[in-house]
């Protein structure tokens, strides 16, 4: 009644698992390469941006900035002797490694 010889299922399972592991490893390499693009990929977008800034609509500015920036971090900085706190901006462009990557990986694994 059995159409498959003994151990055929296990052998097929092991082969599929190995193929899956290999594919996942290759995808991880591709993701790592794509995660940090080169600044030259964005030069056409960057060139002339300041000159054209006033002519762009808010939506166009937003769209361009979303392509150029990974994130904008805003920090509150207490200044000695001042009543109001100052703010500090940190811009993280997409072509630089993510400075928060290690922290985000650690948090996601918890």
Q: Could you tell me the pTM of the whole model?
A: 0.54
Tokens of 88: 């500090």
More confident site: 34 or 45: 45
- Strand ranges for 2-85 from DSSP E: 69-77
* Residue ranges of domains in the chain: 1-35, 37-109
Beta bridge partners of 71: 92
Q: What is the pLDDT of residues 64-85, one digit of tens each?
A: 999 999 999 998 887 777 767 7
Phi, then psi, of 40 in degrees rounded to 5: -65, -25
So what's the pLDDT on residue 33?
58
CA torsion angle 4 8 9 15 (round to 10): -140
So what's the pLDDT on residue 61?
92
């Amino acid at each position: 009644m059995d159409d498959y010889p003994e151990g055929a299922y296990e052998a097929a399972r092991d082969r599929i698992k190995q193929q899956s592991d290999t594919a996942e490893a290759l995808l991880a390499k591709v993701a790592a390469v794509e995660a940090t693009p080169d600044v030259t990929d964005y030069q056409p977008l960057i060139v002339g941006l300041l000159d054209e800034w006033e002519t762009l609509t808010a939506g166009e500015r937003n769209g361009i900035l979303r392509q150029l920036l990974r994130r904008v971090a805003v920090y509150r900085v207490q200044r000695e002797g001042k009543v109001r706190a100052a703010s500090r901006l940190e811009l993280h462009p997409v072509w630089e490694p993510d400075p928060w990557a290690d922290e985000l990986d650690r948090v996601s694994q918890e």
